[in-house]
Structure 1
Amino acid sequence: MRINIHAGHNPDGMAACGAVGLIRESTEARAVKDRVMAQLTAMGHTVHDCTCNNGTGKEDVLKRIVAACNSHEVDIDVSIHFNAAANPKPDGRTTGTEVLVYGKASPAVPWAQQIADSIAALGYRNRGVKERPGLYVLKHTKAPALLVECCFVDDPDDVAIYNADRMAAAIVAGITGQAAETTADAARLAAMSREEFVEYIGRMAAADMQTSGILASVTAAQSILESGYGKSELALQALNLGGMKAELSGNTWASAWDGRVYIKDTAEQREDGSYYTITAAFRSYPSVAAYLADHSAYLAGARAGSDLRYAGVVGCRDYRQAFQILKDGGYATSLEYVGKLCAVVERWNLTRFDGVSQEPDGSLWANIAGLSYTWAEASNFGQMLAQSGIRTELRRVNILE
Structure 2
Amino acid sequence: MAKRKRRSKNRHTGRNWIISILAVIVIFLGVYVGHHFYRIWNQQRIEQEAREKDRRAKQLFIQQVAPEAQAMQNTYHVYASITIAQAILESQWGTSQLASQYHNLFGIKGTGTNSRVMTTKEYINGKWIVTKGRFRVYDSWSDSIKDHTRLMLNGTDTNQQNYDRVVHATNYQEAARGLQEAGYATDPDYAQKLISVIKAYKLYNYDK
Q: TM-score, normalised by structure 2?
A: 0.69
The structure with the largest helix share of the pair is 2
Q: Which has the larger radius of gyration?
A: 2
Q: 2:117 — aligned with what?
A: 263
Q: 1:340 — aligned with what?
A: 193
Q: 1:350 — aligned with what?
A: 203
After TM superposition, give the deviation of residue 323 of structure 1 in Å.
0.9
Q: Does 1:246 align with 2:110?
A: yes
Picking from 163, 169, 180, the partner of 1:327 is 180
**Structure of greater relative contact order (alpha carbons < 8 Å, 6+ residues apart):** 2
After TM superposition, give the deviation of residue 306 of structure 1 in Å.
5.4
| Distance in structure 2 (CA, Å) of the matches to 1:306 and 1:268 | 21
Amino acid paired to 1:312: R
| Distance in structure 1 (CA, Å) of the matches to 2:125 and 2:195 | 21
Q: 1:226 — aligned with what?
A: 90
Q: What is the count of residue pairs matched by the alignment?
A: 153
CA contact (8 A) 1:212 1:297 kept: no
CA contact (8 A) 1:215 1:315 kept: no
CA RMSD of aligned residues (A): 1.7
Secondary structure of 1:268's counterpart equals strand
| Distance in structure 1 (CA, Å) of the matches to 2:172 and 2:70 | 14
CA contact (8 A) 2:65 2:142 kept: no
After TM superposition, give the deviation of residue 203 of structure 1 in Å.
2.3
Secondary structure of 1:285's counterpart equals coil
Stretches of structure 2 that go unaligned for 5 or more consecutive residues are 1-55
| Distance in structure 2 (CA, Å) of the matches to 1:259 and 1:318 | 37
Picking from 188, 196, 209, the partner of 2:73 is 209
Q: Does 1:289 align with 2:153?
A: no
Q: Does 1:301 align with 2:165?
A: no
CA contact (8 A) 1:271 1:335 kept: no
**Superposed counterparts of 1:1-400, under 5 Å:** 193-247=57-111, 260-272=114-126, 274-303=127-156, 305=158, 308-355=161-208
| Distance in structure 2 (CA, Å) of the matches to 1:327 and 1:236 | 25
| Distance in structure 2 (CA, Å) of the matches to 1:343 and 1:336 | 11
Secondary structure of 2:167's counterpart equals coil
The structure with the largest strand share of the pair is 1
Secondary structure of 1:308's counterpart equals coil
CA contact (8 A) 1:262 1:281 kept: yes
| Distance in structure 2 (CA, Å) of the matches to 1:353 and 1:268 | 30
Q: Give runs of ≥4 in structure 1 deviating > 6 Å.
A: none
Secondary structure of 1:264's counterpart equals strand
After TM superposition, give the deviation of residue 204 of structure 1 in Å.
2.1
Secondary structure of 1:313's counterpart equals helix
Secondary structure of 1:202's counterpart equals helix
